[in-house]
Each structure stands twice: as structure tokens, then as C-alpha cells.
């Protein structure tokens, strides 16, 4: 029988190994973003050229711009819809919430490939068969695809922020003769704000990362960055993929750090933040 102390040490060592394992491919991508060779996998000396591709190569630049634009629009839509739904869930409990949460859970757990193969024919139906040309637009299609999971995330984040505290304050506000609209703007919205901001940033990063749904619904001319990378995998990736990915990585981490700071300021505990960021 090994002693408790030794078991503890072994466990700690194991955890450290696992954490290193989790960072391994990220480190590899970072190192290879300075690869001066022709192909990503084979090292050809140190170079900053891959980073210049963002500026010099129109295909790469366009893909990044499509990603950023889609992310911004999808985040705004998901934030508006999700915030309203989150407030409703937190302040209006009842039997409907079970159904609604059921749908949100379904949205969250459905494998992305199923969402993707469901959305593609549906967008074609809407755009071609029903004569709604707006659904033939590449950006609209991407935004719709990215919004689904993002709405669920924003709703849950806002709900968990408001549930419990909001009801009492709302009642107090009503007791003090505030109109419902005034209560909404003076109590509910300020309380929800940190969660709204966090949810929005999460929605943005989710959109930046989305590959599977994007690969199905995107149309020629509006190729987001992950789809560009994914379609280039077969032909052999170039080092600029790692460079752009590193830039995107920094952007994502900045957004997440912002979420953590906002939530911390709002008085959220460490594990509360972890729960929010774990989606």
C-alpha cells in the first residue's frame, strides 16, 4: 500500500504531465508559425515571412476578414436574442422554461455535423425554393449557423447571473413604485451587463472557431478562415496557416481574459468563472 503522501505526489505529477500534453500542439503551432520553409510540417529555418502573408496574400486576408465580420455580427445577434431569453428564464419561472431549456440543451449537445447537414438543405430550401434570396448570401448563412450554439451559451450565462438575485431586487423596485420598464432598465439590465458582455465575447470566439457548420453552409466568395484552412489540409498546409492561427489565438485569449476580468469585477467566484468559460 503506497502512502498518502506518495499518492498525492504521483497524482500531482500526473496532472502536470496532462497539462503539458494539453499545450503540446499549441506550442508546436506557435513554433512553426516562424517556419521559413515551404510546408508547415517540415522546418526550414526561422523566418517572419509567414506573418506577412496576412497582409500580402489576398486569399488569407479575405478569409480572416470574413471570419471577423461574421463573428461580430453573430455575436451581436446571439447576444441580443440570448440576453432576452436569459432574462426571461431567470425572472419568469414556469413550466415553459422546461421546454425552453430542453431546446437549448438539444442545441448544445447536437453534434455539429447534424446541425450542418440540417442547415444546408434548409438554407437552400429557403433561398431557392421559397425565393428568399437573403439566405443565398454567404455572410447571412454563416451568421445563422454560428448563432445557434452561441444563443444557447449567452442564454445560460445571462440566466445563471440573474437567477436568484434578480427576483428580490425586482420586487423591491416594484415596491418602491418603479414602473416595470424602469425596473427593467435600472435593475435587470445593469445586473445582467457583465454576463451579457461575457456571453457576447464567448459568442464571438465560438464563431471564429466554427469549422464544421461553416464548411457546409459557406458559399464561394465568403470563405471564413477555418474553412480555408480545412480545405487546404489535403493539399498540404503552408506556414502562414500557423502564423494566422497564432494571431487568432492571441485574439481569442484576449477576449477570454476580458471575460474573466469582467466576471471577476462583477463578483463571480473562480469556479463560477470556470463554469461560464467551460460553456
- Interface of this chain with another protein, residues 113 to 152, rule: CB under 8 A: 113-122, 125, 144, 147-148, 151
- Considering the complex, what minimum distance in angstroms separates the CB of residue 51 from another protein? 15
**Does residue 197 interact with another protein by CB under 8 A?**
no
178 Cβ contact partners less than 8 Å away, ≥ 6 residues apart = 186, 187
Q: Which three cell numbers stand for residue 170?
A: 425586482
Do residues 50 and 239 lie in contact, with contact meaning Cβ atoms separated by under 8 Å? yes
Among 70, 71, 79, 82, indicate the residue that binds another protein (CB under 8 A): 82
Under the criterion CB under 8 A, does residue 271 sit at the interface with another protein? yes
Which residue number, 93 or 133, has a Cβ lying nearer to another protein?
93
Cα-Cα-Cα-Cα dihedral of 244, 246, 252, 255, to 10°? -110
Question: What whole-number distance in Å separates Cα of residue 205 and Cα of residue 201?
Answer: 6
Q: Which of 22, 55, 134, 220 binds another protein (CB under 8 A)?
A: 22
Residues 154/83, Cβ–Cβ less than 8 Å: yes
**CA quadruple 69, 75, 78, 81: dihedral, nearest 10:** -100
Q: Which of residues 95-114 bind another protein (CB under 8 A)?
A: 96, 100, 103-104, 106-107, 109-114
Sign of CA dihedral 126, 131, 134, 137: positive
DSSP 3-state of 25: helix
x/- binding map, residues 47-76, to another protein, per CB under 8 A? ------------------------------
Number of residues that bind another protein (CB under 8 A): 99
Nearer to another protein, 52 or 233 (CB): 233
Structure letter (DSSP) for residue 181: H
* Pairwise CA distance, residues 86 & 148, whole Å: 14
The answer to the question of residue 275 lying near another protein (CB under 8 A) is yes
- Contact between 157 and another protein per CB under 8 A: no
Residue from 62, 167, 186, 197 that binds another protein (CB under 8 A)? 167
Q: Does 88 bind another protein (CB under 8 A)?
A: yes
Select the residue interacting with another protein from 189, 258, 261, 274 (CB under 8 A): 274
- The verdict on 219 binding another protein (CB under 8 A) reads no
Amino acid at each position: 500500500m503506497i502512502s498518502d503522501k506518495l499518492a498525492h505526489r504521483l497524482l500531482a505529477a500526473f496532472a502536470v504531465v496532462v497539462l503539458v500534453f494539453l499545450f503540446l500542439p499549441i506550442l508546436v503551432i506557435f513554433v512553426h508559425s516562424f517556419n521559413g520553409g515551404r510546408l508547415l510540417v517540415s522546418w526550414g529555418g526561422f523566418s517572419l515571412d509567414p506573418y506577412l502573408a496576412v497582409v500580402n496574400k489576398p486569399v488569407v486576408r479575405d478569409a480572416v476578414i470574413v471570419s471577423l465580420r461574421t463573428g461580430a455580427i453573430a455575436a451581436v445577434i446571439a447576444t441580443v436574442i440570448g440576453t432576452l431569453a436569459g432574462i426571461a428564464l431567470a425572472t419568469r419561472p414556469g413550466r415553459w422554461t422546461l421546454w425552453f431549456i430542453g431546446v437549448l440543451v438539444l442545441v448544445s449537445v447536437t453534434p455539429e455535423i447534424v446541425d450542418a447537414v440540417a442547415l444546408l438543405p434548409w438554407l437552400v430550401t429557403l433561398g431557392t425554393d421559397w425565393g428568399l434570396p437573403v439566405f443565398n448570401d454567404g455572410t447571412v448563412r454563416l451568421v445563422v449557423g454560428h448563432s445557434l450554439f452561441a444563443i444557447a451559451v449567452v442564454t445560460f450565462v445571462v440566466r445563471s447571473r440573474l437567477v436568484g438575485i434578480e427576483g428580490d431586487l425586482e420586487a423591491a423596485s416594484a415596491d418602491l413604485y418603479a414602473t416595470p420598464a424602469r425596473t427593467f432598465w435600472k435593475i435587470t439590465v445593469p445586473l445582467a451587463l457583465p454576463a451579457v458582455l461575457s456571453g457576447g465575447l464567448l459568442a464571438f470566439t465560438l464563431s471564429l472557431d466554427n469549422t464544421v457548420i461553416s464548411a457546409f453552409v459557406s458559399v464561394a466568395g465568403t470563405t471564413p478562415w477555418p474553412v480555408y484552412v480545412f480545405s487546404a489540409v489535403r493539399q498540404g498546409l503552408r506556414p502562414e496557416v500557423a502564423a494566422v492561427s497564432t494571431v487568432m489565438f492571441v485574439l481569442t485569449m484576449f477576449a477570454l481574459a476580458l471575460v474573466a476580468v469582467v466576471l471577476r469585477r462583477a463578483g463571480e467566484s473562480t469556479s463560477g468563472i470556470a463554469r461560464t468559460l467551460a460553456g
